[in-house]
Amino acid sequence: MNLNELKHAKLKKWVEEAVSLMTPDSVEVCDGSQAEYNRMLQITVDGGIGIKLNPEKRPGCFWFHSDPSDVARAESRTFIASKKKEDAGPTNNWTDPAELKETMKAQYKGCMKGRTMYVIPFSMGPVGSNIAKIGVEITDSPYVVFNMHIMTRVGSKVLDVLGSDGFFVPCLHSIAKPLGPGEKDTGWPCEPDVNKKFISHFPDTYEIWSYGSGYGGNALLGKKCLALRIASVLARDEGWLAEHMLILKITNPQGKVKYIAGALPSACGKTNLAMLIPTLPGWKVETIGDDIAWMKFGEDGHLYAINPEAGFFGVAPGTSDSSNKSAMDSIKKNTIFTNTGLTEDGDIWWEQIGHGAPGETITNWKGEKVPSPKTDKSPAGQEIAHPNARFTVPASQCPVIASEWEDPKGVPISAFLFGGRRPSTIPLVNESKDWVHGVFMGSITGSEITAAALDLKAGTIRRDPFAMLPFCGYHMGDYFGHWLKLGKKAKDEGKGDKLPKIFFVNWFRKNADGKFMWPGYGENSRVLAWMFNRCDGADNFIETPIGHLPKPGSIEPPADVSAETMAELIKVHVDGWKAEIADVRENHYPKFGDRLPKELYSQLDIMENGLKAL
């Protein structure tokens, strides 16, 4: 399709302005077809950036490795440029939007020379769903085009829904690597100077401008930029929720179904939980989504969730037949691998894949040939796959995708879970006493930093409220207020009993030897079953100052977990909680100033008093 065929005047004008600023050699409007997908892949293969994997091992699969500057989200280069600084809040990088646009325009000038500009109309959510939203991404990266094909719903059908005046989020992207006459790419094209990369959001005008990165959430702008940072602002303005949550369907042995949405920070287990294979006999888990949930209250008072995405952009290292068989089965074909290892026989490999690699040598994520690993482990710092190596795969290829995953009305949520990587204090599972207490617990959630962010020190604990720290497009204090407001509204309308219950989980407690105390993965079904039964009113809990903990014996420990360890996992660690409260009081809550809802400070007092009485 060419530009003149665009019926939407505002869209056409925006694209024309981008063309005159970025001066690409040509412009293409994407139609979302298979032929287009194949053609984009071929461009990257012909350009020497992508490698087609052995079709006998991985049919339809391709391997890429990126630049060392471009392997994860760049949080320090991510900006929330609201008109007023205070609207971005203390957890976001703020810059004046007018100044930022000037700076970025100077960089965008001529940045697509020698390349094609692709205009990608996409829908986040089933096309036409009343929870879905439309975005249009402009990019000069064919890699972005085929990844967007997988991750979102792309093409002419989206333009049909958009009509001549529908709402869309403009998403401007360039890898920032213009080509001179006859010049060709010599590797992964991007701006290698991290300080020149920009991932910018303009919440007052619902716009996204990204420059210099071709990787993941920095470049596939439907994902974190639109579906979380801009969508969280839309959700605040329109009264719904845009969250960093997986959505799973769970069926008990009696055939009863519930849907659970769960927020865990990046690389803390959402994809794994969404595809979990229960070790508990008779239980079944199916996937609706693995990273993002958009939720609106229905007329009946239930909260309905859709997965706005159409694919998974999953962490590769650690994924194996024993940890996540469904993910391994999903990625057997038609998958894009980025920054994994590449074996001599044209297949992929990563740490903890469950086996060594064939042959004498293997290509690591930097593109270097190194000795082939005989086991599935590598010394720290010498990983073959980058710790944030990822696969991009259509959700429809997941063997446990729920049949209703594309239902435009969404699925009714019975429970939320929040969690993070906490080596101490935080119990295996804990139910909040009520909605306000749940919001309080969400607001104080912390986690060890993982490799999913470029410029942070992995391993240190930071507060990551609702797993939204890098993804909330406005003041976090107001975000907590938004959650409280939705709960209050439901109660005022007499629909409080329809609100999802709120739980906290921690699969990552460690013992004195630094070993995980809980086996995790499929064994997490024991915790999901406990939550499921709580939602049905089971008397399986005890009241404590931190919330409802499992009654001893109400969660049968897995074979390799002793009774003592189990008791340790579900008890109140008074000293740890006291330290937690002190840290929240001194370091966390004061950041939000008077935008922190008063109810949350009261919750801190209530918990502190309760702990004193123990």
Active site residues: 268
Q: Tell which one of 291, 431, 478, 523 touches ligand SPV (CB under 6 A).
A: 291
* 236 near ligand SPV (CB under 6 A): no
Closest CB to Mn ion among residues 151, 362: 151
Q: Using CB under 6 A, which of the segments 165-173, 215-223, 417-425, 553-561 binds ligand SPV?
A: 215-223
Q: Which of 202, 259, 313, 435 binds ligand SPV (CB under 6 A)?
A: 313
Q: Is 340 in the site for ligand SPV (CB under 6 A)?
A: no
Q: Using CA atoms, how far apart are residues 86 and 121, in angstroms rounded to an integer? A: 33
The answer to whether 64 and 180 have CB atoms below 8 angstroms apart is no
CB of 172 to Mn ion, least distance (A): 22
Count of residues interacting with ligand SPV (CB under 6 A): 9
Instruction: Using DSSP, state whether 303 is helix, strand or coil.
Output: strand
Minimum Å distance from CB 141 to ligand GTP?
21
Helix (H) or strand (E) holding 487: helix 476-492
Which of ligand SPV, Mn ion, ligand GTP, none lies near 521, with the C-beta cut-off 5 to 8 A by kind? ligand GTP
| Cα(178)–Cα(110) distance, integer angstroms | 7
Residue carrying structure tokens 């709120």: 502
Which residues 6+ apart lie within 8 Å of 533 measured at CB?
A: 540
User: Contact letters (x/-) for ligand SPV, 413-452, by CB under 6 A?
Assistant: ---------------------------------------x
Please give the structure tokens belonging to residue 426: 């935080």
Instruction: Rule CB under 5 A: say whether 291 interacts with Mn ion.
Output: yes
Q: Show the 3-state SS of 519-558.
A: CCHHHHHHHHHHHHHHHCCCCCEEEECCEEEECCCCCCCC
Smallest distance from ligand SPV to CB 175, Å: 15
Q: Which listed option, ligand GTP, ligand SPV, Mn ion, none, makes contact with residue 520 (CB within 5 to 8 Å by class)?
A: ligand GTP
Phi, psi of 305 (to 5 degrees): -120, 140
Q: Is 36 in the site for Mn ion (CB under 5 A)?
A: no
CA distances in angstroms from 364 to 228, 336, 344, 556, listed in the order given? 32, 16, 11, 42
Identified binder of ligand SPV from the candidate list 266, 272, 335, 425, rule CB under 6 A = 266
In the complex, what is the shortest distance from the CB of residue 130 to ligand GTP, in angstroms, rounded to a whole number?
Answer: 26
46 C-beta neighbours (distance < 10 Å), count = 10
| For ligand GTP, the closer CB: 203 or 420 | 420
Please give the structure tokens belonging to residue 507: 């699969």
Q: Which does 507 bind (CB under 5 to 8 A by kind): ligand SPV, Mn ion, ligand GTP, none?
A: ligand GTP
Which DSSP category does 53 fall into?
Answer: -
Q: Which residues bind ligand GTP (CB under 6 A)?
A: 264, 266-272, 290-291, 314-315, 317-318, 323, 452, 507-508, 516, 520-521, 524
Identify each DSSP E strand in 238-383 by its residue range. Answer: 241-243, 245-251, 257-263, 284-289, 293-297, 303-306, 311-315, 336-338, 341-343, 348-349, 361-363, 369-371
Q: Which is nearer to ligand SPV, 340 or 430 (CB)?
A: 340
Cα–Cα distance, 394 to 310 (Å, whole number): 6
* Residue 337 touching ligand SPV (CB under 6 A): no
Q: Which one of ligand SPV, Mn ion, ligand GTP, none is in contact with 524 (Cβ closer than 5 to 8 A by kind)?
A: ligand GTP
Residue 258 exposure: Cα atoms within 13 Å on the Cβ side: 21
Residue 120 interacts, among Mn ion, ligand GTP, ligand SPV, none and using kind-specific CB cut-offs from 5 to 8 Å, with: none
CB closer to ligand GTP out of 323 and 432: 323
- Using alpha carbons only, give the angle 307, 310, 315 rounded to the nearest 5 degrees: 90
Cα of 569 vs its chain's centroid, Å: 27
Q: What residues make contact with ligand SPV under the rule CB under 6 A?
A: 73, 216-217, 223-224, 266, 291, 313, 452
* Site of interaction with Mn ion (CB under 5 A): 266, 291
